[in-house]
Amino acid sequence: MRSLSGFDQPVRDFLAYVQVEAGLAAATLSAYTSDLAGMVLFLEERGVRSPADVDPRDLAEHVQFLHRERGLQPSSIARHLSTMRMFFRFLEGSARIEANPTAPLSTPTRWKRLPGVLTPKQMKSLLDAADETSGRLWRRDRAMLELMYAAGLRASEVAGLQLDGYDDRIAVLRVMGKGSKERLVPIGDPARHAVGSYLSELRPTLTRFEDGRDDGKLLLSNTGRPLERVAVWQIVRKLARRAGIEQAHPHMLRHSFATHMLVGGADLRVVQELLGHEDIGTTQIYTHVDHSHLRQVVQTHHPRP
């Protein structure tokens, strides 16, 4: 590491300490070295010349720089923060500084990047983009979009829906989520009607082959084979452009489902179960979304009950 005035020797001593005392792997030591080099460069550019001069606000600004300017994910920022905390704890423990400036810093989970969310009006425009003028498979595309929004499905989950996993009598989907974990999700009438139209009017024409190529899946391609995850992305992007929505992607429908449900008054635990999240902390991110653009949401739990 190049000489960085008052930081040079403290950084060298810390890296030597964690290498010898903690027995860190080479990759971890390399990450610590890189994290500290970035921190020191940031601090020196702001006139901070030694660890004793570091103020908590300096480190908070560095963390915000990693988040806003470098666009790092919360997990990466958490690693940077962990490195800084260890470094300054080491300096405090060896009496090189009087107080640890990382003590007031919060964890990234409190301000992690919020998901993109469509307004109910945008969501309706996207759904309506799948109509008679959008192509021969519009009924399938409409059913796919309605299911993703009604049940908060991932692209892989909607593509993997089994025909026998849909119960029209009680309007419930059997969804296979991450880790092969199954969950049951109810859907509203708009999704139910769209699926019914697809099953009666289009799907029979896609199962004209008798070689079992459909694999029992609900949504099929033009060749009668199961709809693939990449095709789900392509369909959503195509219809979003048709609806005048920029940079839309399948996960945005899942984000919109969760946000609209919570804004409408749904319990966080219920949304957690519907989304298939193991950790409620993952679901809580939706409670931080700015609600100012969602005033048109109706009083019930979902804009399309």
Which residues are designated catalytic? Answer: 154, 178, 251, 254, 277, 286
Contact present, 121 and 296 (Cβ < 8 Å): yes
- How far is it, in rounded angstroms, from Cα 56 to Cα 147? 47
Tell me which amino acid residue 103 is.
A
Contact present, 128 and 183 (Cβ < 8 Å): no
Strands (E), the chain: 166-167, 172-176, 182-186
DSSP conformation letters of 100-143: -TTTTPPPGGGSPPPPP---HHHHHHHHHTSSGGG-TTHHHHHH
Count CA atoms within 13 Å of residue 207 on its CB side: 17
- From the list 82, 72, 10, the residue with the least C-alpha distance to 40 is 10
Helix (H) / strand (E) element for 254: namely helix 250-263
- From the list 152, 150, 157, the residue with the least C-alpha distance to 178 is 157
